[in-house]
Amino acid sequence: MDRATIAGDAAPQASSLLAILQFADSFFPSGASAFSWGLESMNHDGLVKGADQVLALLTAIIEERWAGVDRGLMRAAHQASARCDVNDGEAPDFNELIRIDELCECMTLNQEGRAASRRLGVTQLKVHAGLGLPMAQAYLSEVQAQCAPGHLPVVHGLICQALGLSALEGEAMSAFGQCTAVVGAAIRLGMLGHVDGQRILMQMRRRIAAVLGTDPPELDDLWNGAPALELAAMRHETRSARLFAN
């Protein structure tokens, strides 16, 4: 096999990798840095203080909530988006995607969590629409018309499909992005230094890979094994002094 053939075979993989590096980078304006995902409330209550406890919290977020809720919604949205055509001259049929979006609304019990998920989902749609992605613009119109909530896991699945990323690539990007957001919040709260934060992210890579090695739940089998995170978010809603939106 000559060099040109090898390079041609590698090009699609390189393109996907570069897309992941761009859209998962903290420089990308996703809006995630405004949220602590329950960390601020747990730190205020003295439940999470140092690096070991931040690692334990992240493990619970990924293994007990993301794996059972977000991943299943993302996979379903990724599959549903493949059946939506924005290039045939007619408005795409988003009914299946909207049903998944509404299920996400029901599965997110706390008000701050719902608001954060919708806000981040709309931010993603606006940024990608601005970058010229027709599917993002089309679904953004549905959200702005109040036909769909626009939750982050659903939007993420849709965008990854539209970008040509596999479901697994999108899920890896989502899970690791969740981890970097929480670690970033811990650093801003003075709970960690940057080296400790990177050490935690290295440890989380193995945990994320283990989750991705299992099958995602079907929509009828979504589950949440981390009720303490929901309760922390509910307590956060009533706090008068806070740095993060959730």
> What are the boundaries of each domain within the chain?
48-236
- Contacts of 15-23 with CB under 8 Å at 24 or more apart are 15/164, 16/164, 16/165, 16/166, 16/169, 19/163, 19/164, 19/165, 20/165, 20/169, 20/172, 20/173, 23/163, 23/173
153 half-sphere exposure, CB direction, 13 A CA radius: 27
Fold of the CATH domain 48-236: Urease accessory protein UreF (1.10.4190)
What does the pLDDT read at residue 152? 96
What does the pLDDT read at residue 242? 53
Tell me the CA distances in angstroms from 44 to 40, 49, 201, 229, one per residue in order. Answer: 6, 9, 23, 13
- Ramachandran region, residue 192 (left: φ > 0; alpha: ψ -120 to 50; beta: rest): beta
Is the whole model's pTM more than 0.95, yes or no? no
pLDDT tens by residue, the chain, 246 residues: 555 444 456 677 899 999 999 998 888 988 887 778 788 888 888 888 999 999 999 999 999 999 999 999 999 999 999 998 777 666 789 999 999 999 999 988 888 888 889 999 999 999 999 999 999 999 999 999 999 999 999 999 999 999 999 999 999 999 999 999 999 999 999 999 999 999 999 999 999 999 999 999 999 999 998 887 877 777 766 655 555 654
Nearest CA among 123, 112, 91 for reference residue 36: 112
What does the pLDDT read at residue 6? 46
Burial status of residue 194 (CB atoms within 10 A of its CB: 0-12, 13-18, 19 or more):
exposed
Task: Please tell me the distance from the alpha carbon of residue 184 to that of residue 174, in angstroms, as a whole number.
Answer: 15
For 217, phi then psi, to 5°, come to -70, 150
Q: In degrees, to the nearest 5, what angle opens at C-alpha 137 toward C-alphas 159 and 132?
A: 80
What does the pLDDT read at residue 5? 47
What does the pLDDT read at residue 176? 95
What does the pLDDT read at residue 200? 97
